[in-house]
């Protein structure tokens, strides 16, 4: 899989020779990176693939502190930027000129802006050439290429390995060492990960990913991504909160997908904010997954109604400000129906997961007996919701009819107990 970008590098020497890829468990549709999902084709676990991953491939790797870089944010919404190659050497500019938009200034100077759409087009063409070469000379043990599709600026590849199918969402990015000035103030605040991991681990680098803001210019605008930092932060999140997050995602991912409003990445951001404002000993409760799930649903409803979901790393960037009142009210009503009977919605989500597992197992039985087992097999994935959580939810809702059950309450006063049923605190 990581061989493919290496072979792309040999085609025209555009990619860095010593490159650093970031492989994330879960596809782009799972919210592992903040990318726009409306341009992606719908793939279903079980029907189309058994395991999914996201691979970030740096087209430019800007790790040399002596290399001046111009992140031009004058034309962009918060959390977005243009990338000028003006200060780069002639060799780099001439190598990437065909992937740039060119702006001529009045004073006669020419500026080259690295274009996310042109880079994605070049990357897709190059990957297609490499994969077609691989298919012409198949080697023993090499995965079978079942599908290659360009979804907006993302290349989705489904590979057959034994009788398992692996979905790779490959994203061309720009990789940076260090930390952007626009996110500097975030480092001054207190965070849930303080003392658990070092600041150096959290701020080791960031990316530009090929996505633009709602009013931005698609050909020029990149989005800042802190995917590397999020991998580190995930280590500090309790298993019961992660279980609640996975369950909440399973419930809402399809329910709120049309019209486009809430993505799994928004939910992930809300979870990180909750970690910051709730006491660590409360979040460490092992049997509180049901409480956390109700809290996440309540938080989501609150963010929707107020059209407010701050980016975790750049809080001044509100990721929901573009939503129309009509979309907000439609999704708020859907969430209210989930909130009135969360156990039933969770059971439906669990049934979908089980159905996908059965499809995978059937395919594997028909295929090779030595295939790689799917992480979604009935052996149980700790990230998947289970029936016990649904039962606990049912109990909470049944015992408190008509009452608001809220976990994430007053962010300004974390000394108060943080599980609330109406005005009674527990």
Q: Which pLDDT band holds residue 398 (cuts at 50, 70, 90)?
A: low
* Confidence (pLDDT) at 12: 81
Give the pTM. 0.82
> Which of 174-183, 234-243, 331-340, 398-407 comes out lowest in average pLDDT?
398-407
Is residue 423's pLDDT more than 50?
no
The pair of three-digit structure tokens given for residue 285, joined into one six-digit string = 């409760």
Which among 251, 256, 255, 244 has a CA at the least distance from the CA of 351? 251
Is residue 376's pLDDT more than 80?
no
Q: Which pLDDT band holds residue 262 (cuts at 50, 70, 90)?
A: confident
Q: Which residue bears the tokens 């940076």?
A: 176
* Confidence (pLDDT) at 36: 83
Asked if 214 contacts 261 with a C-beta cutoff of 8 angstroms, the reply is no
Q: Which residue bears the tokens 């109990």?
A: 395
Asked if 384 contacts 251 with a C-beta cutoff of 8 angstroms, the reply is no
Assign 3-class secondary structure to 369-408.
Answer: CCCCCCCCCCCCCCCCCCHHHHHHHHHHHHHCCCCCEECC
Is residue 346's pLDDT more than 80?
yes
Question: 46: left (phi > 0), else alpha (psi -120 to 50), else beta?
Answer: left
Q: DSSP string of 334-366?
A: HHHHHHHSHHHHHHHHHHHHHHHHHHHHHHHHH
Question: 253: left (phi > 0), else alpha (psi -120 to 50), else beta?
Answer: alpha
* Confidence (pLDDT) at 304: 92
* Confidence (pLDDT) at 404: 41
Is residue 210's pLDDT more than 90?
yes
Is residue 67's pLDDT more than 80?
no
Q: Which pLDDT band holds residue 397 (cuts at 50, 70, 90)?
A: low
Domains, the chain, ranges and CATH? 1-231+405-425 (3.30.460.90), 237-340 (1.10.1410.40)
Ranked by mean pLDDT, which of 16-20, 198-202, 422-426 comes out on top?
Answer: 198-202
């Amino acid at each position: 899989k990581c061989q493919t970008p290496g072979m792309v590098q040999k085609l025209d020497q555009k990619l860095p020779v010593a490159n650093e890829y970031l492989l994330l468990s879960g596809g782009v549709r799972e919210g592992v990176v903040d990318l726009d999902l409306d341009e992606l084709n719908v793939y279903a676990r079980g029907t189309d693939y058994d395991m999914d991953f996201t691979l970030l491939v740096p087209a430019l790797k800007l790790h040399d502190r002596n290399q001046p870089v111009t992140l031009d944010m004058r034309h962009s919404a918060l959390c977005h930027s243009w990338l000028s190659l003006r200060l780069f050497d002639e060799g780099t500019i001439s190598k990437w000129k065909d992937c740039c938009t060119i702006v001529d200034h009045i004073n006669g100077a020419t500026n080259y802006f690295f274009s996310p759409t042109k880079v994605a087009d070049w990357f897709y063409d190059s990957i297609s050439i490499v994969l077609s070469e691989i298919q012409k000379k198949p080697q023993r043990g090499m995965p079978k290429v079942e599908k290659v599709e360009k979804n907006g600026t993302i290349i989705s590849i489904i590979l057959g390995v034994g009788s398992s199918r692996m979905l790779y969402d490959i994203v061309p990015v720009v990789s940076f060492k260090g930390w952007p000035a626009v996110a500097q103030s975030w480092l001054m605040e207190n965070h849930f990960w303080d003392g658990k991991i070092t600041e150096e681990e959290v701020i080791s680098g960031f990316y530009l990913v090929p996505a633009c803001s709602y009013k931005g210019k698609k050909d020029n605008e990149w989005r800042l991504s802190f995917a590397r930092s999020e991998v580190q932060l995930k280590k500090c999140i309790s298993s019961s909160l992660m279980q609640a997050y996975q369950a909440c995602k399973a419930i809402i991912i399809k329910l709120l997908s049309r019209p486009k409003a809430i993505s799994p990445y928004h939910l992930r951001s809300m979870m990180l904010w909750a970690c910051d404002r709730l006491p660590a000993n409360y979040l460490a409760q092992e049997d509180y997954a049901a409480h956390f799930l109700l809290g996440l649903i309540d938080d989501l409803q609150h963010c929707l109604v107020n059209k407010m979901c701050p980016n975790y790393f750049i809080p001044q960037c509100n990721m929901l400000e573009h939503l129309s009142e009509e979309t907000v009210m439609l999704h708020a009503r859907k969430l209210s129906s989930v909130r009135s009977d969360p156990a039933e919605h969770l059971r439906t989500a669990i049934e979908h997961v089980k159905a996908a597992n059965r499809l995978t197992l059937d395919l594997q039985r028909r295929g090779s007996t030595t295939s790689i087992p799917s992480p979604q097999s009935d052996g149980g994935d700790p990230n998947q919701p289970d029936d016990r959580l649904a039962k606990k939810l049912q109990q909470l809702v049944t015992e408190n009819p008509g009452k608001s059950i809220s976990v994430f309450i007053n962010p300004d006063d974390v000394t108060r107990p943080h599980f609330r049923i109406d005005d009674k605190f527990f």
